[in-house]
């Protein structure tokens, strides 16, 4: 915190101070006003209207812009919108996290990127569930299709190249999947599932295959808002079945069982 300049003085017209004595000298009054001004200066670093942080105020401002715009509208670059909010980079990043958690805006990197008003209408089918998206459905659907096509190649590489340490990591990745299945949290399960597949991809000796698969996962994850049950589908049961399939797949990799891994990955891609 930076202290105010020592030469800070109170200029006319003077505002009356609560509790000022009628007989107080002008010097006393001036000193009291200076102290109060210094206190207000320091409070500005932490005190905000209605007890809301600067990040929350910035989030409210951006949410207002989003509410006045159509879904998919580009609000501007991160720097443009941050400047309009009048907050620091760190504070604005916290505001963005709040907005993304509330599914108000989407942040897209690269040329033409920036802050966009969330469009929650798009969905992509994933097995017996639906991914609710903030982007055009065809883009993510294509990424899901290509990712599924690469899975057998990655499983084949893992079958022959996975070290004991690699297999131990895959086994650890099953733990959050099991927890999400037990709690019935479909979004947490999907993210844990993709983390397992990312670790399987990391085993491949092919840099091109690893890079392509990681990019596809990034596209899907970046645009996913939530996981919804398909109409008439008991989603908790589906999640439990998917967990068992992945647990069996890791066991087959540990055993170097070619026939079983082939059977399981075929089931994986036909069931979602």
pLDDT, tens only, 5-38: 444 444 444 444 344 444 444 444 445 444 343 3
Higher pLDDT, 48 or 100: 100
Whether pLDDT at 118 is above 90: no
pLDDT band at residue 233 using 50, 70 and 90 as cut-offs: low
- 109 exposed, middle or buried (CB, 10 Å; 0-12, 13-18, 19+)? exposed
Average pLDDT over residues 100-129: 79
Which overall architecture, per CATH, does domain 123-271 show? Up-down Bundle (1.20)
Q: What is the mean pLDDT of the chain?
A: 80
The listed range with the strongest mean pLDDT (106-120, 165-179, 209-223, 228-242) is 165-179
Lowest-confidence pick of 91-100, 147-156, 246-255, 263-272: 263-272
Average pLDDT over residues 134-163: 90
Q: Which part of the chain has CATH 1.20.120.530?
A: 123-271
Q: Which part of the chain has CATH 1.10.10.10?
A: 51-117
Instruction: Assess if CATH 3.20.20.140 describes domain 51-117.
Output: no
Whether pLDDT at 40 is above 70: no
Higher pLDDT, 124 or 202: 202
């Amino acid at each position: 915190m930076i202290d105010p300049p020592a030469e800070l003085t109170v200029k006319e017209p003077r505002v009356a101070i609560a509790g000022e004595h009628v007989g107080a000298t002008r010097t006393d009054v001036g000193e009291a006003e200076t102290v109060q001004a210094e206190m207000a200066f320091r409070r500005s670093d932490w005190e905000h209207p209605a007890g809301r942080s600067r990040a929350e105020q910035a989030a409210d401002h951006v949410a207002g812009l989003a509410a006045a715009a159509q879904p998919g509208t580009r609000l501007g670059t991160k720097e443009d919108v941050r400047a309009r909010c009048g907050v620091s980079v760190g504070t604005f990043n916290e505001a963005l996290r709040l907005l993304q958690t509330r599914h108000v805006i989407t942040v897209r990197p690269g040329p033409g990127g920036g802050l966009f008003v969330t469009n929650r209408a798009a969905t992509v089918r994933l097995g017996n569930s639906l991914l609710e998206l903030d982007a055009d459905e065809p883009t993510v659907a294509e990424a899901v299709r290509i990712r599924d096509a690469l899975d057998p190649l990655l499983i084949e590489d893992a079958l022959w190249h996975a070290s004991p340490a690699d297999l131990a990591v895959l086994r650890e990745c099953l733990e959050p999947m099991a927890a999400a299945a037990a709690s019935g949290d479909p979004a947490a399960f999907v993210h844990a599932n993709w983390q397992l597949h990312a670790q399987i991809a990391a085993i491949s000796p092919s840099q091109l295959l690893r890079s392509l698969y990681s990019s596809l996962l990034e596209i899907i994850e970046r645009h996913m808002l939530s996981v919804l049950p398909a109409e008439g589908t008991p989603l908790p049961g589906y999640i439990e079945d998917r967990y068992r399939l992945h647990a069996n797949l890791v066991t087959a990799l540990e055993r170097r069982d070619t026939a079983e891994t082939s059977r399981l990955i075929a089931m994986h891609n036909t069931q979602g």
